[in-house]
């Protein structure tokens, strides 16, 4: 076990992917009131303004200073499909300013390039993030869904590496080579979609992914290893999966629109034995599951 705390990013944050503006405002407010101090959103989630409203309300009621809260948002780079226009340097600046305005903040704590799909514009987009940081508008800059080849491009162009990389990580997609690379380069690791092995993960209409019928069957089975381990540790399956990530030194972004589950996701005061951590390592199935359009780590 690593038990390594990230250098820049808080250990636990609230994820807001797929939240409506109403849900995002409510859960941002409730999570901050409960004790969360990191909120993660993105331009493509279309709920930044709602997150900002929830933040302002909670911070006012708790009399919190801006420095007490960590906010992450993301640039949509474009390039996922032919009609998805790729942003140039100026486009990145405009997108950042729009996110900053919607959130109602003076600065962002962490600004990420959401994916590596911009291809020929990745370096230009990264240079724009460096410019934003140099102007004091953002504390930390990073990427999301970037693989080793994408990060090596920055090194080849004599550019600084990201402060963080937010990637899909859970027992079925452990990415050991990429994780080791990030640790060697001192890049914070932020895990998203930690709850993929749950039967309730993206089970509603419209919540598409590459989760197969076989994997869903394993999730629903009473013999699911995560069901058995959650019983052993007297916690929920979600709590066990989230704690697994924390034990490895990742930051996590559990999402819930239910107050009791939001609270459970924050209460992870237990430890997983080395024997069980070693067992979970054997459950790795390789590639990513969350992106229905294909694994962004495989983008050239």
Sheet with 138-144, strands from edge to edge, namely 14-15, 38-40, 70-75, 108-113, 138-144, 164-168, 188-192, 251-252
- In the chain, the number of structural domains is 1
Tell whether 1 is covered by a domain. Answer: no
3-class secondary-structure state, position 51 = helix
d(CA 54, CA 167): 26
Active site residue 107: no
Phi, psi of 248 (to 5 degrees): -90, 0
pTM score over 0.85: yes
pLDDT of residue 209: 60
Tell whether 297 is covered by a domain. Answer: no
Given 36, 45, 111, 250, which residue is catalytic?
45
pLDDT of residue 12: 98
Tell whether 78 is covered by a domain. Answer: yes
Contacts (Cβ under 8 Å, ≥6 apart) of 180: none
Indicate the DSSP class of residue 122: H
- For the four alpha carbons of 17, 29, 237 and 229, in that order, the dihedral sign comes to positive
C-beta of residue 246 within 8 angstroms of C-beta of residue 219: no
- Give the domain range for residue 136: 14-292
DSSP string, 224-289: -HHHHHHHHHTS-HHHHHHHHHHHTT-EE----SSHHHHHHHH-------HHHHHHHHTT---S--
Which residues does the chain have with pLDDT short of 70? 1-5, 201-221
Tell whether 92 is covered by a domain. Answer: yes
pLDDT of residue 287: 81
- Can you tell me which residue has the tokens 């250990």? 11
| CATH number of the domain where residue 59 is located | 3.20.20.100
Tell whether 5 is covered by a domain. Answer: no
Q: Tokens at residue 145, please?
A: 């869904």
């Amino acid at each position: 076990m690593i038990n390594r705390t990230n250098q820049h990013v808080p250990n636990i944050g609230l994820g807001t992917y797929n939240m409506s503006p109403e849900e995002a405002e409510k859960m941002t407010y409730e999570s901050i009131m409960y004790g969360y101090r990191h909120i993660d959103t993105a331009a493509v989630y279309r709920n930044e303004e709602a997150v900002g409203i929830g933040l302002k309300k909670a911070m006012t009621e708790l009399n919190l200073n801006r420095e007490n809260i960590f906010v992450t948002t993301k640039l949509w780079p474009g390039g996922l499909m032919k009609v998805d226009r790729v942003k140039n340097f100026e486009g990145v600046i405009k997108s950042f300013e729009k996110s900053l305005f919607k959130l109602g903040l003076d600065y962002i704590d962490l600004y990420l390039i959401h994916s590596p799909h911009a291809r020929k514009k990745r370096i230009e987009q990264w240079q724009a993030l460096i410019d934003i940081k140099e102007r004091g508008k953002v504390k930390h800059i990073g990427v999301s869904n970037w693989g080793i080849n994408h990060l090596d491009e920055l090194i080849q162009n004599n550019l600084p590496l990201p402060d963080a990389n937010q990637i899909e990580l859970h027992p079925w997609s452990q990415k050991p080579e990429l994780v080791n690379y990030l640790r060697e380069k001192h890049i914070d690791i932020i895990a998203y979609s930690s709850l993929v092995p749950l039967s309730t993960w993206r089970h509603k209409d419209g919540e598409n992914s590459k989760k197969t019928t076989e994997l869903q069957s394993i999730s629903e089975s009473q013999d699911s290893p995560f069901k058995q381990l959650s019983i052993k540790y007297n916690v929920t399956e979600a709590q066990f999966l989230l704690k697994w990530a924390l034990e490895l030194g990742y930051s996590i972004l559990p999402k819930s629109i239910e107050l009791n589950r939001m609270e459970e996701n924050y209460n992870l005061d237990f430890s997983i034995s080395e024997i069980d951590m070693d067992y979970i390592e054997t459950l790795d199935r390789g590639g990513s599951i969350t992106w229905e359009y294909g694994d962004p780590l495989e983008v050239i």
